[in-house]
Structure 1
Amino acid sequence: MQQWTVLGICGSLRQGSYNAALLRLAERTTLETRFIGCDLAGQLPLFNPDMEEDTPNLPAAVREFRACADQADGLVIATPEYAHGPAGVTKNAIDWLIGSGGIMNKPTLLLSASPGQAGGMRAQTPLMPTLTLLGSILVDCVVVSRAAARVAENGEFHDATVAERMKLAMGEFTDALRHSSHKKAT
């Protein structure tokens, strides 16, 4: 069986994050993917173009994050919604990938979970033009509303509807990985 390498980006730093749980659910949904870098977004410094120009002296977290993006066949981005937009951590991570080309022509799945009724969809909408500009191939979006009622005491999603929606999204995502130009050699 083909296994695809996926850069996971979690835009939430909160302990017990619904979005981190959603990213873990995506990872568990199929054996065809191996997630890397899921904890790196929170370690990145604030994006500064002056730092980017000094490539040999980039912070270690940035070098590792970009290496993960280069290695990845696709991306899964889980972002909370803050003030009707994406989390700053999410946007900062994407900013660090702008000059690297690490997401060009790679399938990308957007995830959001929120305790509110919109499920974080307003966090995803502003990311779409940026990701498209960078050459990312947007595959699907998953939003989970009323997230607090859909997680178990251990913080993991237990809701059958969420699991089924994730299964469909990851199916679309793995199909896109199979058909993208970034296939791994078997």
Structure 2
Amino acid sequence: MSAESTEHALSDEVIDDQDEASTDADASPKGSAASRLEEEGDVAADYLEELLDIADIDGDIDIEVRNGRTYISIVAEDETDGLDSLVGEDGEVLEALQELTRLSVLSATENRSRLVLDINGYRQQRAGHLQKIAEDAAASVKESGKAVALEPMSAYERKIVHDAVADLGLVSESEGEGAGRHIVVSAD
């Protein structure tokens, strides 16, 4: 093969590679993100199922992808103390288990995960409680005109409170660091 024909063959390969790359780039990022989230959910479910087996705790695992995030729920038909022990006091065990599950996903996929883990509806119940905290803080700010500092909470819980405070027409800001990070609600 002459140098000219080798060069021509190589340029054809480069063009083919570029065409494949542009086809991949033209593919809907939403589709690839959705498949990545589904994979994340499958890895997380496998990890949690193994954990439940080791702990000899009964529970069904539900996976849902919404708003660009994977939500994993572990529920039981019967009230079982085993699942409650996975929530812990004030959801501390649940938060730790969520972080371990995220690490499992990171290890398997090399992608950081923002998955949310819920056990026996704890997060939904907590969201209602957080809504009430936001409403009480807003009422206090409106009445006194003074800013109100709330108890420290996780980033996920702070997001719920920030949204609730904004819906009530007030301003909220996270302050502090680490486990002491909390929200301050004010009128301006």
Alignment TM class, shorter chain as reference: under 0.3
User: TM-score under structure 2 normalisation?
Assistant: 0.25
| Structure whose CA Rg is larger | 2
User: TM-score under structure 1 normalisation?
Assistant: 0.25
Structure number with the higher helix fraction is 2
Name which structure has the greater RCO, CA cutoff 8 Å, separation 6+.
1
